[in-house]
Structure formats: C-alpha cells, structure tokens
Chain A
Amino acid sequence: MPNMSLKKNEMPTQAPNVRNKNFYEVALGYTPEQAIDEAKRCLNCKNKPCVSGCPVKVHIPDFIAKVAEGKFDEAYDIISLSSSLPAVCGRVCPQEHQCEGKCVRGIKGESVAIGRLERFVADYHNANCKLWPSDIANNGHRVAVIGSGPAGLTCASDLVRKGYKVTVFEALHTAGGVLVYGIPEFRLPKAIVEMEIKGLKALGVEIETNTVIGKTVSIDELMDEQGYEAVFIGTGAGLPKFMKIPGENLKGVYSANEFLTRINLMKAYLETSDTPIQKAKRVAVVGGGNVAMDAARCAKRLGAEVYIVYRRGMDELPARKEEVEHAEEEGVIFKTLTNPVEILGYHNPNDKKDDLNGTVNGIKCIEMELGEPDASGRRKPIEKPNSEFVLDVDCVIMALGTSPNPLIKDTTEGLETQKWGGIIADENGKTSRKGVFAGGDAVTGAATVILAMGAGKTAAAAIDEYIKSKENSKK
C-alpha cells in the first residue's frame, strides 16, 4: 500500500541559528526508516515523468522501489547505471525543476522527495562500501579529459568503464572543479566529493592536478606527442563577470569566485589556513542565483550581516528554492528590486598611507520595478527615478555569473567558439576539431552540475563511437 501522505518526509537539518555560525552540512539526511517511508510515497506510475525530467535519465521509480524494500545497495546499483555522482546530485540538483517537478504526486500535494532519497542511497553506499581495484579490461586507447568538474568526472567515469585509459587534467591543486572551489562545505561536504573521486581512481582514472591545459601543455601536444586519441574539454565557465560600475576595484569588492575559492578551496575560514579573507561586518552580495546564495551564506557564517541585492523580485530569483529558504532562515536579508549603481570607498585626504584608503564603505543602489517580459520571458526590471539610496556595507561580492575561460580557445587552433567564448559543439559534444569534444559550462555558459554531467555522459558515448569507427576504418 503506498504512503498517501501529501507531504514529503522532512529532512532533519541543523537549526538555522546554530548552522549560520558553522560550516558543517546544513541538511542531515534521512534515516533508513524515513527513507523507506518516503520511498513508499512513489506510486510507480506507468509514464515515469520523473525520468524524463532527469538530464542523465536515472531510473528513478526502480531505485525508489528498492529503497521501499530496504534494499539500499541494489538501489545504488540502479542509480549508478546512469549517474556517476549520486551523492553530489542528491544535494545540488534543482530537483523542483527536474524530476520532482514532473512527479504526479506533486499535482495534489508535494512530490516524492527524489533528491533526498538519492542522497540517502548514495550516502548509505559510501558509508558501507569498500573500494575494490577495477577489473575492467583495458582497450588500449587513451583519452584526455580537461577539467575535473562534474562534466569531466562524468565523462571520465563513463569512458573508464568502457575500458579506456583516461587521464583527467586539473589546473588547481585539488580535483573536483566547482564542486570543490565553488559549492560550500555546508551544502556539499568536500569529503563526499573526495569519496566520489577516490571511486573513479579505483576504476583506473588518473588525475593530474597542477596542470593548466593551454599553458603547461596544449591540446595539440596531448594528441600529437602524448598519444591521446581524443580529448574532452570540460573546463567550465570560470571567468567572473563584473558590472562595470564605479568602485569595483575598491578593497573589499570580491568576485563570488574569489570569495568562495578562498573559503571552500583554500579553507580561509579555518584558523589553520594561511589564506586570508576579509572579516567583513556588513556584506552586500549582488545577484540572485545559487552562487549568490552560497556567497551570502558563507559571509553570514563568517559573522557578517548580509544582504542579497537583486534587481528582480523574490519570485524571479534563479536560485534553487531550498537555497533561498535556507538563506532566509539563516538571517540573510533580501533587498530585491534593487540594483547597484556605484560602490563607494573611503579616502583619507590627509594621509595617503592610511591602510583604509580605497576600502569599500557603502554601495549606492536604485530601486527597481518590473515591466514587460523581456526576451528571456522574465519581466524586465526598470529603474524607479530618484530612488537612489546607500546601503552601509564594508564588503561587496559580485555574483553575476561567469563566462568560459579563453585559455584553451587561445591556444588551440581551429577550435571554434561563440562570440562570448563558449566552445561550439554539436548535440554529441563534437567540436570543430577532429577528436576534440566539449561539454558542460564550457559550451553552454554557466548552468547546473547535472546538465554538465549530462553533457559529459553524451560526449563519452560520442568519443567511444569516434574511436571505434577510427579503429574499424583501419581494419
């Protein structure tokens, strides 16, 4: 008999006023009992709309059925067929727009908590599994994967399972890409990312950190000198955007990338870290996406009063719903329908050597209202005349989105890109260069972890096909 409760099983979380002072994970995960109870809410309906909402097509009702039976390992095996990073996806996917958004239980009441169940199954597996050395037969072909974020890791995982010898190149000193430098510990513990990467290494994937493709080694060298038959570019969208308003170079203005990297990758919030971070008192985070929420919640945890400054309204915030709710609960103040026009700084006219010179001491904003829908379908924000005001802050974090890094484009001849820098690739990830594939944010511009994983998966299949057809034509 299915569980006909209209509401999801709540997932236990740290209390807002406790967690906004620490970096431990906010959500604590289901117990096995809660997971089984939640799994029983799935009707196992015929059409499986949830699967169509999943970019990597996880067999959702099948794994949930196993959870309902208490067979968690079997549930994990089902998820693994489609997803190589379930513990990550369960935490960071925008389920409300994907699987859960399509769930029939959501028509009357709340959808099945698919994300929470995925997370439970992956965590259960990680806590109880042992890593075995892989017994996959090597097919003798080598593939280079550039970037160890979600697209690269997924592509590497699929290829190594097909028998390819895969090397992943990472520019930073730790593998994981945005999962490590971008998404904070309290939303995605780094131990989980590490566990997923250890799993890939056990399968035979080699990871070379401290290697900047385009600088240390070029794609041509990888293919012509080092024997890689195909390359997958999953370098993401790493370049921060600024607003081009006065004052953006003042001390105390960060790109969200810098602020988050200092905290997440460099662990600047710990006493033991040598990396500094400003201990701000009042912070304005400009933007309304997941990255803005992450930056705001990090700043809160460092002890600041935090404002989200966003030019549209609450309903238009592009962030995941849960992130907005968590930020509000933790005391982040939302200044919506507000747009910055200038960042103000301190200057001591009498002392040129005053260390505070050039430091942020406010952000001038203007109130906005929503007009007609624009090309994106969202209502266009318009300035309200004479509504400027100054928000008293000593730190501003710009979370306005990112664009792809030109390092590879500039050093790879014949690799075509869009005007804004995105690599041009077809629906299978094929680029204008033979044997070179690309996917994820490097192609689409900043998007989500799961879409990048989907692109990595598609490209892995295309690379497999490409190498096999090359092999066949030789015969």
Chain B
Amino acid sequence: MFEIVKRKELNKTVTLIEVNAPRVAKKAQPGQFIILRTDENGERIPLTVADYDREKGTVTVIFQIVGATTEKLNRLREGDSLSDFVGPLGRATETDGLKKVAVVGGGVGCAIAYPVAKKLHSLGCEVHAIAGFRTKELVILENEFKKASSKFILMSDDGSAGEKGLVTDALEKLIKSGEQYDEVITIGPLPMMKFVCLLTKKYGIKTVASMNPIMIDGTGMCGGCRLSVGGEMKFACVDGPEFDGHLIDFDEAMERSSIYRKFERHKHEEACNLFKKEVE
C-alpha cells in the first residue's frame, strides 16, 4: 500500500497528492510517469510525475478529475493509501545540450511541464515558460513556474489572468520578437499541442510533445497507447511519452482518446451518485 502523505487542491478540479513510494522516488525523472490503482476494483491509470523527493521517498502527482477513477482518487485524504503505485515508467525528458527552451503548458498539463522547466532551469538552461488556462480559477503553479524560468507568460482564454489569448499567441510573439529556441517542449490538451506543433513547424523549431494516451500496463504489453509518429506505430509507454511533435498524428491521437468516453461518463456519474448517497 502506498500512503498519501500530502494532499492539496490546486483548483476546483485539479488536486496534488504526494505519495510515499521510496523506490519510485529514487529513480523518477521529469517526463516519466507512474501507474496507480486506488483499490481492488480500480482501473490502472497513468499519471505523469510532477515532482519527487528522493530523501523523503515521495512522488508527487497532479491530476484533474475527469472520470470515475480520478473522482475516487480525489476522495482520498492524507493518511489514506493507494493499493498500487508503479514506476517510474517511460523515458525521461532529454535535456542534454539544451541552452534555451520554451516550455509551453496548458491546463493540468502545466503540472507536467513544471518539473521539466525546473530541471532545465537547474541545469543552467534559459527557460521561457508559457502557461495557458481557460480562466483565472483554474490557474495552477504560477509561482513555481516563475521560479523555474527567466521569463514567464501567463495566458487565459478570457483574459481573467495574465494576458488574454492562447499559448500559441504568446509563443509566436516571442519567436517574432527574435527569441531563438533550441527546442520547444509542449504538454497539455491534444488540440493545444497540435497547434503549438503547427506553429513551430512553420518556424522550423524542434518541438517535443508529451503524450498521455489510454494504457493499462505501461510496460509495452497492451499496445493500447499506440500512436502514429512519422507514419510508424509507437507505444507511448515505452517509446515515449515524449515524441517529435512535428511527426505525431494528433488527429488520430484525439480520436483514440475518446474510445471509452461513453463508459467514462456513465462510470463518473455512478461514482458521483455513490458519493452523494454517502454524504446524505
């Protein structure tokens, strides 16, 4: 069993948990992910590592409540335990030789973009961070990003926080102003990453996108996480989760991400109703 030692609600739908998992903490790197199960009937879900503390032996993950499993996860409190927590899985973000990078995060994807920015920053790389949210209430990790970058731009769809507009607007402005990046790293919703990649392709800037598809085992066994990269079949769990953004077939990935939408809705409602009953 893996105890939750800290829990913090970052906004209404996004929660941070720090989990006691010494062996995972010892090895975890930015860009990698873990798979957890809340309980015996639980689904295995992948979550990207948001932070780790090798001495304390803890790993932090940040999740958005999107379905039954994350709903269940969100009901757990400090002192509660997860039945399973395995990792670190996937390949770590490649940081070698990078001197100047734009890290572009969107929504809960910022939780994954942050440790990448932090690592690059600590290695002496110049980091420009762009974080986009729909609205002010959803903003997370603002201060953390500021500390991990030399330039931080906050964007919101409605202009209630930072500048009004999309992350691509901010990125294009920086590029046009003459900033030259070795690489752009983007993590967020699939449509956002797709448009970031279209933009950087126009300017010929190498771009890495972090994929988070449906998967079960996370070790290459099920193939559920497969995607097309440069016309080849890749498994996000072992070949990724980060890939050359200019080669990813985002449209296919978006279609694949909706496989269980109906089931998810049904299970989510079921879970919510169950919790409501418990409260009553």
Which of chain A's residues have a CB closer than 8 A to the CB of B84?
173, 209-210
Which of B97-105, B137-145, B153-161, B258-266 participates in binding chain A?
A: B258-266
Which of B87, B89, B222, B227 gathers most chain A CB within 10 Å? Answer: B222
Which of B35-43, B128-136, B199-207 participates in binding chain A?
A: B35-43
Contact residue among A249, A258, A262, A274 (Cβ-Cβ distance under 8 Å from B252): A249
Assembled-state Cα–Cα distance A274/B224 (Å): 17
Given A173-B83, A217-B23, A262-B216 in contact, is the A274-B226 Cβ separation under 8 Å? no
Which of B43, B69, B72, B252 gathers most chain A CB within 10 Å? Answer: B43
Which of chain B's residues have a CB closer than 8 A to the CB of A249?
226-228, 233, 252, 256
Contact A215 B87 (CB under 8 A): yes
Assembled-state Cα–Cα distance A215/B43 (Å): 21
**Does A266 interact with chain B (Cβ within 8 Å)?**
yes
**Does B220 interact with chain A (Cβ within 8 Å)?**
yes
Assembled-state Cα–Cα distance A273/B219 (Å): 22
Main secondary structure of the interface of A (DSSP, over half): loop
Assembled-state Cα–Cα distance A209/B23 (Å): 12
Contact B263 A258 (CB under 8 A): no
| Number of chain A interface residues as a range | 35 or more
Contact A275 B86 (CB under 8 A): no
Main secondary structure of the interface of B (DSSP, over half): mixed
Contact A239 B86 (CB under 8 A): no
Residue of A nearest to B224 (CB): A258
Which of chain B's residues have a CB closer than 8 A to the CB of A217?
23
Contact B220 A407 (CB under 8 A): yes
7 A-B pairs besides A267-B41, A274-B69, A405-B220 with CB distance below 8 A are A212-B219, A217-B23, A249-B226, A251-B256, A257-B223, A258-B222, A355-B262
Which of chain A's residues have a CB closer than 8 A to the CB of B42?
274
CB of B20, distance to nearest CB on chain A (Å): 13
**Does B172 interact with chain A (Cβ within 8 Å)?**
no
**Does A216 interact with chain B (Cβ within 8 Å)?**
yes
CB of B215, distance to nearest CB on chain A (Å): 9
Which of chain B's residues have a CB closer than 8 A to the CB of A266?
43-44, 216
Instruction: Name the interface residues of B21-36: CB closer than 8 Å to any CB of A.
Output: 23-24, 27
Which of B41, B68, B221, B252 gathers most chain A CB within 10 Å? Answer: B221
Assembled-state Cα–Cα distance A272/B216 (Å): 18
Assembled-state Cα–Cα distance A258/B263 (Å): 17
Please give the residue numbers on chain A whose beta carbons come within 8 Å of chain B beta carbons, in ascending order: 171-173, 181, 209-212, 215-217, 238-240, 242, 244, 248-249, 251-252, 254-255, 257-258, 261-262, 265-267, 272-276, 278, 355, 357-358, 405-407
Assembled-state Cα–Cα distance A173/B24 (Å): 15
Contact A272 B41 (CB under 8 A): yes
Contact B23 A261 (CB under 8 A): no
Given A276-B263, A405-B221 in contact, is the A216-B88 Cβ separation under 8 Å? yes
Instruction: Name the interface residues of B72-114: CB closer than 8 Å to any CB of A.
Output: 72, 83-89
Contact A238 B262 (CB under 8 A): no
Which of chain A's residues have a CB closer than 8 A to the CB of B244?
none
Which of chain B's residues have a CB closer than 8 A to the CB of A262?
216
Which of chain A's residues have a CB closer than 8 A to the CB of B227?
249
Please, what's the 1-or-0 string for B53-83, where 1 marks a CB less than 8 Å from any CB in chain A? 0000000000000001100100000000001
Which of chain B's residues have a CB closer than 8 A to the CB of A358?
252, 255-256
